[in-house]
Amino acid sequence: MHDGATRCSRRHWLGGAAALAMGSVWPAARAQAPFPSKPVQLIVPWPAGGQTDLTIRILAEEAEPLLGQTVVVVNKPGAAGTLVAPALKAAEPDGHTIGQVPITVYRHALMNHVPWDPVTDLAPIVQVSGVSFGLLVPASSPFKSVHDLVDWAVRHPGELTLGSTGIGTTAHLAMEEILLQHNVKYVHVPYKGTADQMLAIAGAQIMAGVNSTGFAPWVDKGQMRLLATFNAARNPRWPAAPTMRELGYPQAVYTSPWGLAAPAGTPAAVVQKLHDAFHKAMFSERHAGALARYDQSIDYLNTRDYRQAVLAMVEREKQLLARMNLLAPPKS
């Protein structure tokens, strides 16, 4: 009995020691488990079937073999593309949930009181692309250049009618920055969408407008004139149109860039692996071709530069929105 009890006790002690040893190893093993260990969910804050959604789906497909896992696109449309921010804030910061983040997410948080902060709640991964914005006038307009338009607006305060796709949109802020430099007072006409705005410009219901490349077919058909773009360099599709930077507005570069982000707190090594996979995927011939079909181009920034660009944009737009009386008032 004594020997049996001793052997039983020894087995119990050894089993317990082994369990303790394994218990100390398993968490470390879990922490070092290769990423990704399951499908990656990519939140897209736009309806399925739109231009951005279609190009991101191709990007996701190109990234799958590089990650070794499926990338599942999940659409969360609504609230002007901002629903991605609270979704990422609520997600586990392990890299298995990421999102497409338009720059307007950061602007929305400056203009409204929201229960999330994209600067502190999101971890930028990589900047992917942007769009071309242009200043347009009807084909019959006497304005042949940006100088013509600005000069007339200075001499006729409050008479210029200029349309955008909404208050606080990139199109609105882009032209506001130009006109503020000349203290121009004008009538801002916000439209719900590109089609309505394009009809208004082509029909000379307004004198000018700013929009992204939804204007392409209208310009190509000669129904309106492109005076300038807000790109950093001339758009190869419209090489005759100067950039605002060329015309003496060095800060007026607006491309509404977007990128991918993860929840804040995602390990740096995981962010790096996501960056490397999507960086390579975005330069694939298939993805680059998909962007080109919608007059978009690759506008790559690595993780560090993307974060710095976002922070610089937030500070710049905070000042501009304050001048426009669009900045959210301090919380009481």
What residues does 97 pair with on adjacent strands? 41
Pairwise CA distance, residues 23 & 17, whole Å: 10
| Residue 169 in this model has a pLDDT that exceeds 70 | yes
pLDDT tens-place string over residues 103-119: 989 999 999 999 999 99
What are the boundaries of each domain within the chain?
40-130+256-323, 134-229
Q: Would the CATH topology of 40-130+256-323 be identical to that of 134-229?
A: yes
Whether residue 125 contacts residue 40, with contact meaning beta carbons closer than 8 Å, is answered with: no
Angle at 319 between CA 315 and CA 324, to 5 degrees: 140
| pLDDT grade for 63, boundaries at 50, 70 and 90 | very high
Whether omega for the bond prior to residue 36 falls within 30 degrees of 0, making it cis, is: yes
pLDDT tens-place string over residues 268-310: 999 999 999 999 999 999 999 999 888 788 999 999 999 999 9
Could you give phi then psi for residue 179, rounded to 5 degrees?
Answer: -70, -30
Answer left, alpha or beta for residue 174, where phi above 0 means left and psi between -120 and 50 means alpha: alpha
Residues in the chain: 332
| pLDDT grade for 195, boundaries at 50, 70 and 90 | confident
Domain 134-229, CATH: 3.40.190.10
What global pTM score does this model have? 0.80
Report the first-to-last Cα separation within the chain, whole angstroms. Answer: 77
Pairwise CA distance, residues 41 & 276, whole Å: 17
CATH of 40-130+256-323, one of 3.60.15.10, 3.30.2390.10, 1.10.10.60, 3.40.190.150: 3.40.190.150
The reported pLDDT for the residue numbered 32 is 56
Q: What percent of the chain shows pLDDT beyond 70?
A: 90
Tokens (6 digits) for 327: 């900045």
- Characterize 226-255 residue by residue with b for buried, 16 or more Cβ atoms within 10 angstroms of its Cβ, and e for exposed: bbbbbbeebbeebeebbbbbebebeebbbb
The reported pLDDT for the residue numbered 214 is 81
Other beta carbons within 10 angstroms of residue 25's beta carbon come to: 10
